[in-house]
């Protein structure tokens, strides 16, 4: 007697994941272009960049959360997986300069990368992709932190 089995899930092609990752960098870099091309919109554009960085941190925390559900001792791992979202919200809500907020978000992205690449079971291709995406995202935030913003 045979029983139907569910085939194991297939991983998406590495090139497709890399393409989506590269497209995900646009909201980090487009605000810089707008801030340089139209300085009057710089404060708004870099605010959008900061909010997007917060969304990405929340996304990374959510991915960690999903992995933690199956982890041994998952309660602590689930709780810790909430940190990227909490850090992002704290930075975005804090009464700090744009430069300080952007640098804090860049450091949070780097910290999330350092945490994630130590996770067991992740393919080397994912770690390489995350390294590149983290460098480009953090660089965009750091450059944005250096741009002079018009006074309101």
Q: What confidence tens digit (pLDDT) does each residue in 65-78 have? A: 888 887 776 677 88
Distance of CA 125 to the CA centre of its chain: 17
* pLDDT, position 14: 78
DSSP for 71-127, written as a single string:
STTHHHHHHHTTHHHHHHHHHHHS---HHHHHHHHHHHHHHHHHHHTTSTT--HHHH
Average pLDDT over residues 30-53: 95
Share of the chain above pLDDT 70, in %: 91
With contact defined as beta carbons under 8 Å apart, do 44 and 50 qualify?
A: no
**pLDDT beyond 80 at 46:** yes
**Torsion, Cα of 89, 128, 26, 12 (10° steps):** -100
Total-model pTM: 0.86
Please provide residue 68's backbone torsions phi and psi, each rounded to the nearest 5 degrees: -70, -25
With contact defined as beta carbons under 8 Å apart, do 137 and 27 qualify?
A: no
Number of H helices, E strands in the chain: 7, 0
Region of 121 please: left (phi>0), alpha (psi -120 to 50) or beta: left
Q: How far apart are CA 105 and CA 28, in angstroms?
A: 12
Lowest mean pLDDT of 3-12, 37-46, 71-80, 102-111, name the range.
Answer: 3-12
pLDDT in tens, 101-151: 999 999 999 999 998 888 887 888 888 999 999 999 999 999 999 998 776
């Amino acid at each position: 007697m045979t029983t139907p089995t569910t085939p194991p899930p297939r991983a998406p092609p590495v090139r497709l994941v890399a393409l989506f990752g590269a497209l995900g960098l646009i909201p980090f870099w487009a605000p810089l272009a707008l801030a340089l091309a139209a300085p009057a919109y710089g404060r708004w554009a870099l605010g959008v960049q900061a909010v997007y960085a917060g969304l990405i941190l929340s996304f990374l925390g959510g991915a960690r959360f999903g992995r933690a559900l199956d982890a041994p001792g998952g309660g602590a791992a689930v709780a810790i997986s909430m940190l990227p979202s909490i850090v992002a919200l704290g930075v975005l809500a804090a009464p700090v300069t744009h430069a300080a907020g952007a640098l804090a978000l860049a450091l949070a992205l780097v910290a999330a990368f350092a945490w994630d690449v130590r996770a067991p079971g992740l393919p080397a291709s994912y770690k390489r992709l995350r390294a590149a995406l983290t460098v480009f995202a953090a660089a965009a935030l750091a450059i944005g932190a250096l741009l002079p913003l018009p006074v309101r």
